[in-house]
Structure 1
Amino acid sequence: NVQVQVNTEARGLAAEEVEQLITFPIEAVMYALPDVQEVRSISKTGLSVITVVFNEGTDIYFARALVFERLQAAREQIPEGVGVPEMGPNTSGLGQVYQYILRTDDPERYDILALRSLNDWVVKLLLMPVDGVTDVLSYGGEVRQYQVQLNPERLLAYGLRVDEISEAIEANNRNAGGWYLDRGAEQLVIRGVGWVRSGDEGLRDIGNIPLKDADGVVVRVKDTAIVTFGPEIRQGAVTITRRDANGKPEALGEVVAGIVLKRMGANTKATIDAVKDRLPAIQTALPDGVTLEPFYDQADLVDKAVTTVSKALLEAFVLIVIVLMLFLMNLRATLLVLISVPISIGLALMAMAYWGVSANLMSLGGLAIAIGMMVDGSVVMMEHIFSHLTAPDARHRELAKQETGSPTPYDAEHDTGGMALRIQEAAREVGRPVFFAVLIIMIVFAPLFSLEGVEGKLFQPMAISIVLAMLASLLVALVVVPALATYAFKTGVREKVSPVMRPLEALYRRSLGGALERRRLVVGTALGLFAASLALVPFLGTEFVPELEEGTVNVRVTLAPSSSLDTALGVAQKLEAVVMTFPEALYVSSRIGRPELGGDPEPVSNVELYIGLKPVSEWTSASDRQALQALLEEKMSIHPGLLFSFSQPIATRVDELLSGVKAQLAIKLFGPELDGLAEIGREIETLVKSVEGTRGVAMEQIAGEAQLAVRPDRDALARYGIPVDQVMKLVSDAVGGVSAGQVIRGNERYDIYVRLEKEHRDSVDAIRALILQAPNGAWVRLGDVAEVGIESGPPQIRRDDVQRRVVIQSNV
């Protein structure tokens, strides 16, 4: 389906505030758009993601234009400073086609900050112009910031506030233009260069920015804060373990990864090939000692799928050769029928290319299905022509006798003019039956064209390829084969009895006679078998589509909702060590939390393991993927408190496209109260776990996130004359931090971030001890005018069509 995503970063706001202030206003305006099928959303700390799903067939660029237009109205309803909504990349759930990591041989020179900068400002910018690429997400590493870490005691001593510091920094970091100045015959451009310099010089520039004059002494930023480099607040990381040249597990630890997103509608294989062509130029642009190494390539799956279908086509072709040779017993006739196969496939592929049908698994699978039917018309035509050439009818016999004067007109030396006539007559006799036979086959596949949605996306390419192949085969059988036969059979031929056909024909004659003598028994047996087949229908398993073996296993690991990023990193590396004890694993990559804006909005309590596997023929621990997954789960379960869900990357994406949930089965429970949803959801979860065949049953986490809540005491604030806004600014600006402009170096841009020193905000007691200054100059502890305590809240709030919901998910 056609989806447009709207992302909004909300500085530090909890899930409930994000839902009320950002998610709902955006959702409300989207329902006025035409062809909207549904609107899904997720609200979590610091992030709102809304997915607008349009009806199938809607042009993606038209849909994005409509969403962009309505976003203007939504922005007016979002409070100023809360967040600015923007559209996500023009991609689909299957758009993550290529992934890589950046490595260095010199970690001291290129740390995780430097590698992330190289990915953001070198690799990403060089990949973006590649045709078919819509975005490149940076995942893992740490984003460099110029940090101003404030000392609250010095701020109080100098009578300064956080907003005054940030305003002073912004006022001392700007360039200006003054147009032109004529100097004789020259014209000079007037420019003011006042940007903060980059690197260590930039730190010195920021530290020297004046703030105020205190008793004749200039107070500068460095007098109130430590100015240094530091990492941006992050909610995601990537680790990887792989095998070295000797096959031994090698833990690379935390790495910087990039995810290439394919533009919707672009060809996957062509996009990946273009990315690979760009890699040498990217490697040249990277400094010595830093290398780009791919670890996930969807083109491998495409190649395997095409190879599988091509192999099936070749095997079918060989079987056709054997069968035709055994039954026709004539090399020229066999070659004529075989030529019809590549001609029919070639014509079908030309038509597919003209109508924009790609050579994917389903379309090529349709050709594999059709290859046996494609030769039917040509076989019938050739067999009938062959019968005319070996035993012409009486009219042809008399014409040949009159022309040659010979009693044996099939003699090659005498029959010089009757061959073309015989072929023409034979073609006319079977032309109509062949036409209607092929037409009936095409009509059988006609209902597939009426399928809509996901079913239509899956089966219509197959139906199109089969119908085009059959049309091409009909054209070949009626026109090409007779024409080629006139060149291949210029002289008479004599029929050779096939050693295979003789016993088969004798057996058939005996069987036919017996069947005609026992008609009631034959009909009764057929009806009995038909009834028995109907009785077996309820026992047949059903599924939407068979699972495709992608060669990569995706394990979703869920930790407690209050888990920190460091905790998740530690768990991920332990799980990687367990996975690499299996010889089938080539590498395992852990994706913790979420990447930058535009990726999957996962919490840090979610770890996605991507396990690259050897070919199944080389496995020793298990015979198939299901058995291997069972062994993996058993070994990883030694770590308590973890929930595992096994799937494959593309299969997971398909499930998410269908229902918005990364699982095969999704039960959605709607209701206004989160507590009620959680209670009923747990009951449903227990029931689903008791159903045979379910695995990985889990309810979405909608409770249990640890939150440090600061709730103002309005009576106490009123006594001191302190507004609530001052308390909230202390929380958002002093504790959370505020951006004070950027340092620009070429293409690179790094935020200047102002925030309290870590020691003054790293505990509940430290935050309670923060000082507020009343209008009369009195100093008041935050803990005296507000309740500061740890509470439990929802880590995320999901909504479908403006209704809160919780999902109980399961794989089968």
Structure 2
Amino acid sequence: MSKFLMKISGFLIDHRLVAYLLFGVIIAAGIFGMNSVPVDAIPDIGENQVIVYADWPGRSPKDIEDQVTFPLSTSLQGVPGVKEIRAQSMFGFSIIYIIFEDNVDFYFARSRVLEKLNYAATLLPEGVTPILGPDANGLGQVFWYTVEGPGLNLQELRTIQDWYIKYSLASVEGVSEVASVGGYVKQYQIDIDPNKLFAYGIPVSAVINAVKDSNLDVGAKQIEMNGMDFLVRGVGFIKTVEDIESIVLGSFSGVPVKVSDIGKVVIGPDYREGVLDKGGVEAVGGVVIMRYGENPKAVIDKVKSKIAEITPGLPSGVQIVPFYDRTGLILETQGTLTEALIIEIIITIAVILAFLLPFRISMIISLSLPISVLFSFAMMKLFHVDAHIMSLAGIIIAIGTIVDMGIIMTENIHSTITADGLKNGDIQSRIQTVKNGAGEVAGAVLGAILTTIVPFFAILVLEGQSAKLFHPVVYTKTFVLVGSLLSALFLLPSLYIDFVLPGGNRMSRFLEKFGGKKTLFKLKTAGVIIASVVLIERVLALINVWQGIDWPGIGKWMINNIWMLIFTAIFVFLTFLLGKRLKKIGTALIGWCLKRKWILAVPAAILVFAVYLTVFEIKNEFRPPLDEGSFLFMPVLLPSASLSQTHDVLKKQNEILKSFPEVESVVGKLGRIDSATDPAPVQMIETIINLKPKEFWRPGMTKEKLINEMNHALQIPGVGNIWTQPIQNRIDMLSTGIRTPVGIKVFGPDLAVIESLTLEIEKIVRQVKGYSDSYAERIIGKPYIEYIIDRNEIAKFGLTIMDVQQVIETAIGGENLTMTIEGRERYPIRIRFMREYRDSLEALQNLLFITPNGEKVPLSRLAKIQVVMGPGMINSEDGILRGIVYLNLLPGTGPVEFVQEAKKLIDEKLQMPKGYYYEFAGDFENQIKAFEKLRIALPVCLLAIFIILYFTLGSAKQSIIVFLAIPITLSGGLILLWILGYKMSIAVAVGFVALFGISVDDGIVLTTYINEIKKSTAIHSIKDIHNIILTAIQRRIRPLFMTTVTTILALVPILWATGRGTEIILPMAIPSIGGMTIELITIIVVPLLNSIVMERALKNQIKNN
């Protein structure tokens, strides 16, 4: 393979213009990709779901569950690729979530569900039509806003939202749905006085039919008159209150009876399922739901442009005010990662330029950094990898490794030219020497890249949420490393000839003049550091201005990063001092160690002891949570709580939250938005708490302390508090069906038994170490007023069940009979008895019923009225009823350990009835599955690394020697992880996988060169062996030390990064920083072990002879 690559490299060296053109194309493609790949804060880790929504107004959750949800759930289970079906039966509607396997195409899944719905609809009650929810995933709610205007009431604002703003924003490309929330929907209300109705002898059915028949337009085709066609239409739509009042219901004593005679008609609010509260005041708002697969930032930008476009056309003073905008999180996250990436690149370049190599060589090596990064962006565009925190993390953790191959390649070419005395020889001879020098290390470079990339294949075995999170890291790191390989093999040799080789061409001679020791380009250490700091600051300032973020200026930026700058300066200075004497020090150290090989046992014993102390102290978690910059506070009231009571709680809590100095704004929602994506009951509150930047927080305040303070201040009897973040909540709900990181699901056939079991489990888990708080769903807590119709009694009066039910449904509950059409606007017309005739049990019992023969009978005679407790919401999974205990853990508590202890305690103290069972759910499930996969995949990848080492080095013993770098660096990573107090997570595991690959690079390069020297050297004594080892150290210690130092130093900025997203990327960088620091030991270990193997071989050879 390496020979084939060197043939290509040789061709490009001879035709260098072709090489420059090819890499010019790569640069152009990278710039295009960087500006066009979709941008988001985090990858889309939501489940592959399709939502089915069925509306049945006025029906109880029991009716919905039995007649709608259960038939739909069971009939949809046969759809190919379905993983799980979750369903919720609420008052008046059913929502079913069909979760598909990740490999099922989203729109294919929707089409198959739609096919099934055609049959499933035949199983449902008349008038119930199931529909598909919006073509969006669970993370589609990207933009929330309020509609505000002076002098306008909530009904007027809701009208503007529903009929103007909503449809304008829905037309934006990439928007799946715009849902309204809050305010009042206009409704024409016919409030009937039953006494007047019965006095005229008019049944309720007559009112219903009359109203429906009085709201109608017709068309009568056309007629021709005077050579013209006239369209004929009958205009009869209701447009005003007076139109309704004038509807004739019948006659009494020859006098027409109108609607106005039996009641009153007013304009009022329709029944509402949600309320929006902003700062303690009711508000009207909307939610923009993004279509599946769209670019969040691009969609939000288009929505904002549309808002700016339509605002001048809104009524005077009406404004659309955002209160949740994911763009902020995207920009902050991208800003943090971009800053870290730029600082890494510039610091790495500065180190190379200032200390490690001659200026011109340093310059061409530095070019491999931006070229490799641009190559990665080009590949991201080609393979549809979005730019988000995880994909950029793959590039960031690889920055230090990118230049390694360039350093090794270019330094070896330069050393070969210098050693052969060809600096001033024939140009063709020198070009051939460049080819030879590149060929010497081509195999080592290829092997090093392969051993770096192959371990990452272990991450590709992850499935589900883990795959969506960490596969982008694998892709981008692979892309950037392939880019560095292409640069090292195919570009740097050509650049060396044209820009470094003395007398190579005009450019080379030009740079010779400006590359001498007495010129300005030979920058001193301090000059490079100062120039680097200024360059970093200016680049970051330009990027922030481009992204629309305020830039604090160089002074504040330097203060914020002072420790990073001090550490970097000290580290670079020490590297400089050591680098100038590296060959001398390295040769002397290795020479001393060659005579005292027992010294190897000392660091080995220290590392084993240190790892033994640390590894048992490190706890586990699935992934570090992303700090979204806002909280989502989700208090839940008992099922019996009314909308007005819940709203009182919401206003009281919002007032408390506003009093905290760290809070920027508070907007709360109770109930649901008008969308199938939101199943929340009116007893559930969701409050988005936007926080100020941390520099405005009280000294010493942290997120954990702030949540504890808020939670303590918000304690209200009968209210269970749940704390999370907006995106995190949607992820948890989609992946596990619960709203907290850990929960316990209880399944069974009876809701009352399920509720008692959840309450009992809630008591038990309070005894588990790490428990913070919990909330067991109160399922049977909603008061029901039930009419038990006496069939024998209604038969005496010639009535049917439908006759009685119609009065119950329409007169008591109210029913929207028809819709007015007022231009673009449509409003319902509702009929109902006046409030005083239905606001108490006594009034409900005394309602009169008119029989077909005109007899008036009290409803209490036809039906028994009783008050019972029933479910306010019914949840099920795969057709089985379910209850949940929501759990919050104390900070620092490992969920896996908590679940193991809680399960043991529950099994000891609770006997589950037959037919009932429980299971834990939460992020820890993904953690367990991911670690199980990695336990199998990692050994396979380590074996692959060993096989690559064997084919690269051709010796099993030498392969084992180089392979020992993996446990050595592993110990360094674990020690630093323990020192910094981080938990073992999948992110950390990814960091260790990255470490395994780069940890053997130095050993490959050093051992390969030892083998090269052995081929041309006769070995007769141990002194000859030592000379080979020392020669290899003299030639290779400089590039090896350089590659290790640049890898460490490139990751240092991440340690001091404090912006949004660092909590995700830092755990991936820690193993490499700790491991590569310890990896410096291998520069001693590898030659010593090679010497031991060679000495034993020599002794055996002498013995055999």
Query: TM-score normalised by the shorter chain: which range applies?
Result: over 0.9
Candidates 64, 83, 86, aligned match of 1:37: 83
Total equivalences in the alignment: 776
Candidates 548, 552, 573, aligned match of 2:626: 548
Are 2:419 and 1:392 aligned?
yes
Distance 1:538 1:685 in 2: 30
Distance 1:498 1:112 in 2: 69
Candidates 326, 329, 351, aligned match of 1:323: 351
8 Å contact kept, 1:622–1:628: no
1:678 Cα deviation after fit: 1.3
Structure 2 matches for 1:278-677, cutoff 5 A? 278-389=306-417, 391-393=418-420, 397=421, 410=423, 418-491=429-502, 499-523=577-601, 525-526=603-604, 529-530=607-608, 532-533=610-611, 536-620=614-698, 623-637=701-715, 639-677=716-754
Structure 2 matches for 1:682-761, cutoff 5 A? 682-761=759-838
Per mean C-alpha deviation after superposition, the further-off stretch among 212-221 and 627-636 is 212-221
8 Å contact kept, 1:329–1:498: no
8 Å contact kept, 1:166–1:738: no
Are 2:146 and 1:104 aligned?
no
Partner of 1:232: 270
Are 2:168 and 1:126 aligned?
yes
Partner of 2:39: none
Are 2:81 and 1:70 aligned?
no
Partner of 2:96: 50
Partner of 2:159: 117
SS of aligned partner of 1:362? helix
SS of aligned partner of 1:547? coil
SS of aligned partner of 1:558? coil
1:715 Cα deviation after fit: 4.3
SS of aligned partner of 1:142? coil
Q: What is the Cα-based RMSD across aligned positions, in Å?
A: 2.0
SS of aligned partner of 1:39? strand
* Aligned residue type for 1:568: T
1:419 Cα deviation after fit: 4.0
Partner of 2:1025: none
Distance 2:576 2:278 in 1: 63
* Aligned residue type for 1:232: D
8 Å contact kept, 1:146–1:229: yes
Residues 52-91 of structure 1: per-residue CA shift (max 9 Å, x gap): 111112111111111111112111111214x322111111
Distance 1:178 1:697 in 2: 65
Residues 275-332 of structure 1: per-residue CA shift (max 9 Å, x gap): 1111112212211021110011011111111111111111211221232134434221
8 Å contact kept, 2:51–2:677: no
1:717 Cα deviation after fit: 3.3
8 Å contact kept, 2:224–2:230: yes
1:623 Cα deviation after fit: 2.5
Distance 1:634 1:74 in 2: 48
* Aligned residue type for 1:436: G
Distance 2:666 2:747 in 1: 37
SS of aligned partner of 2:685? strand
Candidates 854, 869, 887, aligned match of 1:810: 887
TM-score (norm 2): 0.68
8 Å contact kept, 1:137–1:598: no
8 Å contact kept, 1:419–1:489: no
8 Å contact kept, 2:353–2:362: yes
1:355 Cα deviation after fit: 1.4
Are 2:876 and 1:799 aligned?
yes
Distance 1:799 1:98 in 2: 30
Partner of 1:148: 190
Are 2:208 and 1:166 aligned?
yes
Q: Which has the higher strand share?
A: 1
Per mean C-alpha deviation after superposition, the further-off stretch among 497-506 and 689-698 is 497-506
Distance 2:869 2:305 in 1: 50
Are 2:261 and 1:187 aligned?
no
Distance 2:283 2:846 in 1: 38
Are 2:181 and 1:135 aligned?
no
Distance 2:864 2:341 in 1: 73
Residues 502-541 of structure 1: per-residue CA shift (max 9 Å, x gap): 3444544454345444434523641562365256434322
Partner of 2:1092: none
8 Å contact kept, 2:664–2:689: yes
8 Å contact kept, 1:646–1:696: no
Residues 434-482 of structure 1: per-residue CA shift (max 9 Å, x gap): 1111111111111222222111111111111111111111101101111
Q: Percent identity?
A: 33
Residues 1-27 of structure 1: per-residue CA shift (max 9 Å, x gap): 210111112222111111001001111
1:670 Cα deviation after fit: 0.8
1:365 Cα deviation after fit: 0.8
1:701 Cα deviation after fit: 2.3
8 Å contact kept, 1:392–1:422: no
8 Å contact kept, 2:356–2:579: no
Q: Which has the higher helix share?
A: 2
1:372 Cα deviation after fit: 1.2
Distance 1:645 1:385 in 2: 62
8 Å contact kept, 2:74–2:878: no
CA spacing shift, 1:506–1:685, aligned 2, 3 Å = farther
Residues 226-280 of structure 1: per-residue CA shift (max 9 Å, x gap): 1111111112101011xxxxxxxxx4x0000101001111111111111111111
Are 2:300 and 1:272 aligned?
yes
SS of aligned partner of 1:340? helix
SS of aligned partner of 2:398? helix
CA spacing shift, 1:464–1:14, aligned 2, 3 Å = same
CA spacing shift, 1:216–1:433, aligned 2, 3 Å = same
1:499 Cα deviation after fit: 4.3
SS of aligned partner of 1:365? helix
1:380 Cα deviation after fit: 0.8
Partner of 2:247: 209
Distance 1:495 1:593 in 2: 74
Distance 2:615 2:780 in 1: 44
8 Å contact kept, 2:353–2:363: no
Partner of 2:1070: none
CA spacing shift, 1:499–1:422, aligned 2, 3 Å = farther
Runs of 5+ consecutive residues of structure 2 not aligned to the other structure: 1-46, 504-511, 518-574, 890-1105
Distance 2:864 2:592 in 1: 96
* Aligned residue type for 1:111: N
8 Å contact kept, 1:21–1:79: yes
Partner of 1:248: none
CA spacing shift, 1:154–1:518, aligned 2, 3 Å = farther
Distance 1:699 1:505 in 2: 68
Distance 1:782 1:804 in 2: 35
